[in-house]
Structure 1
Amino acid sequence: MSIIGMLHNQRKPQKVRKAYACAAVAKMMGVTFFYFTYEDVDFSNRFIHGKVYKDGNWVEEKMPFPDALFNAGSPRTKKERKINQRLKKEIPFTSHSIGNKYSVYKRMVESELFTELLIPSFEIEDPTEVMELIKEYKKIIIKPKKGSKGRELIYMEVENSNSIVWTEKVKEVVLSIEEVTEMLKERFSKKSFILQPFITCKTKHNHPFDFRIHVQKNGEGKWAINAIYPRVGQIGGIVSNIHSGGYRVDLEDFLQEEFSNKGLRILSQLKELALDFPEKFERLYDKSFDELGIDVAIENGHQFKLFEVNWRPGCKYRELETAQYHIEYALFLANRSKNGEFTSH
């Protein structure tokens, strides 16, 4: 019987919804599953102080090193990074980082595999660059290079030659060029940002929306569609991310409501993109991925545009479906490792 471990930063697995989902799926599949943190690893004695879910509780048990590892929490300290590297040399990890937003964009541009899908993106460090680009595009979005969940997005639009509309979430203010410059200086001193021309993607009732495509590797190591769903933001808002006040709706109902007779064609294109994109994307790296969250807009009712690719996308309310893929793929890696096909990254 294979043993699957889940590595996380949170000491208490009961606070990690995905941990319970993985434990439940593993039990149904007859797989031994345990949860642990970086502090729980004992390399000298070759065991891990794990936690196993039994009779409704997480129980501490000494566990052997697993056959495959679902690494759900990244190392945060130098000590954790060392532990992470040692584990990675011995055990197949399911999850690997794709890099920050701009490095992902550069890879995709250089590959020339995604030309029609990409939105021009610029790494910006100085407000002067922003002023030059807003003159060209009129409407822009600025977002953190390492941001997530739609946080800290800034929408800017030219009001006239002396002022700019600045929007964060749903708060809109009109600022002078000088005021915008000062605010950007403050932001840029703390974080790195990227800039993109704004893509208008709104419902008939003026709600921003996009499509989240969640794909995962299955028990055969092949890409499969977990879910495709529209995310709809607040009226007048700039983002549709669920963590920023957006909500998800049924895909087919949404397509029928917004696109009428074009809905079936768009549904087919979304499914095609869901399977075609990860295959091509994975070619850009020398490592394999277990899941991706692909966020796309639809411009002018027919052209898909990529907002971003996410590593470890959220799965709120879909934990069990997502956990099934995690466990099945971990088993796939465990079996390959037993057959001598393990390669550390």
Structure 2
Amino acid sequence: MKFPERTLLGIITCKSKRTPPFQEITFFKHLTQEGARLGLALIVFSPMDINWDHRKVSAWRWHPKNDNWLREIHPLPSLIYDRCYYTDSRQYMLYKPYVERLIKDSNVHLLGRPLSGKWSTYQLLKPHSSIRPHLPPTSTLLSAEDLELALNRHGSILIKPNGGSHGRGVIAVIPQGGRYHARGRTLRNHPVDVTLQTKKSAIGWIQRITANTRYIIQPYLSLVTADGYPFDIRILVQKNGSGTWETTGSAVRTGKVHSLTSNLHGGGKAERTFPFLQRQFSDDTTAQIMKTIEKLAADVPTQIENEHGRLVELGLDLGVDRTGRVWLLEVNSKPGRTVFLLTGEREQYRRSVLLPVEYARSFLLGPTGGSV
């Protein structure tokens, strides 16, 4: 079936070994449903499957009548929603030239430009006076000297891959009686729990496991409940059909005791934010935390967009220490939203799916039929 170009939204994604060959199948079905209500058709494809000579793409489209994905040839859409997840730097470099060609094409627009990594995001946010106090001190891991300096300055440190998510590659290094205890997960998501006998051996071990991948270093922050469970707060902020930022919702993710992260992919659980904070903190502290969350949800998207370029949505991951201080741990330009299903907040989930499609429609058609 052919669709008018101005009603076609393309979703780019990385290939996987399945049929259809991509992740987020349920999310893309829901996007297709919301798009149909607004008069938009959605197709899903890898940027590798574009025929630039004919400006056509071999894409997948969901057919709701028989709940089936069919492969079809479509014109290359003029508007693209980037949902490519890169598991490591090798995959990122593999896809980079294909995505860059889309970005550079004058007839193609990305709904929002993806962020390029944790270090560059930190650099974008650090100048903002109201955001800076909530940023953990961050440096790049380029040499043994960087590790030596960080261990001397902070004592315990956390190393994170500059790209990637889901807790992969995140490792804490904590001094214990002259030795160094390292725990976390490798880039391949295997658990790590080792004791290094000296600072020198700890630095050498870190350099080996981080070789060929860009990493950042931060102080290790104790962001746990009173009984030792790690938790963070995911805030989803999105543009609506009028191009205005709004907070779709928030949820707390709790991890297993002694684990480093509360990521749902690592077995974490989700619950509603305010009742959780009320159980952990006094009423006054809870009110202050909620006020800070609202402020960051308003300031962070504006600050990044001013420096980086157009965005469509952001996931903000916040940590709270036992004193009630709020830390901005990560900003994700390709956030998930299943957390709202896990907390039973189905209306927030549906709106989180609807808003990108509403924004895409306003971008393609505009309030009077022209692009915005």
Give the TM-score band, short-chain normalised: 0.7 to 0.9
Aligned to 1:176: 197
Aligned to 1:335: 365
Which deviates further from its counterpart, 96-105 or 61-70? 61-70
Aligned to 1:103: 120
Aligned to 1:73: 84
* Aligned AA (1:138): G
The answer to whether the 8 Å contact 1:210/1:232 transfers is: yes
Counterpart secondary structure, 1:275? helix
Residue 62 of structure 2: which of 36, 40, 53 is its match? 53
The answer to whether the 8 Å contact 1:102/1:194 transfers is: yes
Which deviates further from its counterpart, 194-203 or 109-118? 109-118
What is the distance in 2 between the residues matched to 1:204 and 1:25? 41
CA positional deviation for 1:312? 0.4
What is the distance in 2 between the residues matched to 1:125 and 1:48? 40
What is the distance in 1 between the residues matched to 2:169 and 2:294? 30
The answer to whether the 8 Å contact 1:92/1:334 transfers is: no
What is the distance in 2 between the residues matched to 1:206 and 1:242? 17
Distance 1:22 1:13, change over 3 A: farther
What is the distance in 1 between the residues matched to 2:217 and 2:48? 39
Q: Deviation per CA, 1:180-211: give whole Å up to 9, x if none.
A: 13312312433222111112221011111111
What is the distance in 2 between the residues matched to 1:101 and 1:332? 30
The answer to whether the 8 Å contact 1:291/1:311 transfers is: yes
Unmatched 5+ stretches in structure 2: 1-5, 86-91, 186-190, 341-348
Unmatched 5+ stretches in structure 1: none
What is the distance in 2 between the residues matched to 1:108 and 1:28? 37
Q: Are 2:45 and 1:36 equivalent residues in the alignment?
A: yes
* Aligned AA (1:17): T
Counterpart secondary structure, 1:295? strand
Residue 326 of structure 2: which of 294, 304, 308 is its match? 304
Aligned to 2:181: 165
What is the distance in 2 between the residues matched to 1:244 and 1:152? 12
Which deviates further from its counterpart, 48-57 or 89-98? 48-57
Q: Are 2:17 and 1:8 equivalent residues in the alignment?
A: no
Q: Are 2:158 and 1:141 equivalent residues in the alignment?
A: yes
Distance 1:133 1:9, change over 3 A: closer
What is the distance in 2 between the residues matched to 1:297 and 1:243? 18
Superposition CA RMSD, Å: 2.8
Residue 269 of structure 1: which of 273, 284, 292 is its match? 292
Aligned to 1:223: 245
Map 1:99-138 → 2, pairs under 5 A = 99-112=116-129, 114-138=131-155
What is the distance in 1 between the residues matched to 2:108 and 2:192? 48
* Aligned AA (2:11): M
Distance 1:14 1:313, change over 3 A: closer
How does the TM-score come out when normalised to structure 2? Answer: 0.81
Map 1:249-288 → 2, pairs under 5 A = 249-262=271-284, 263-285=286-308, 287-288=309-310
What is the distance in 1 between the residues matched to 2:298 and 2:366? 23
Map 1:77-92 → 2, pairs under 5 A = 77=95, 80-81=98-99, 83-85=101-103, 88-92=105-109
Counterpart secondary structure, 1:102? helix
What is the distance in 2 between the residues matched to 1:67 and 1:147? 27
Q: Deviation per CA, 1:212-255: give whole Å up to 9, x if none.
A: 11111111111111221111111122222222332211212201
Distance 1:300 1:243, change over 3 A: same
* Aligned AA (1:329): Y
Distance 1:41 1:155, change over 3 A: closer
Which deviates further from its counterpart, 163-172 or 297-306? 163-172
Distance 1:91 1:197, change over 3 A: same
The answer to whether the 8 Å contact 2:223/2:321 transfers is: yes
Q: Are 2:26 and 1:17 equivalent residues in the alignment?
A: yes
Distance 1:38 1:196, change over 3 A: closer
What is the distance in 2 between the residues matched to 1:37 and 1:141? 34
Counterpart secondary structure, 2:203? helix
Q: How many residues align?
A: 338
* Aligned AA (2:30): A
Counterpart secondary structure, 1:237? coil
The answer to whether the 8 Å contact 2:160/2:215 transfers is: yes
The answer to whether the 8 Å contact 1:48/1:65 transfers is: yes
The answer to whether the 8 Å contact 1:14/1:58 transfers is: no
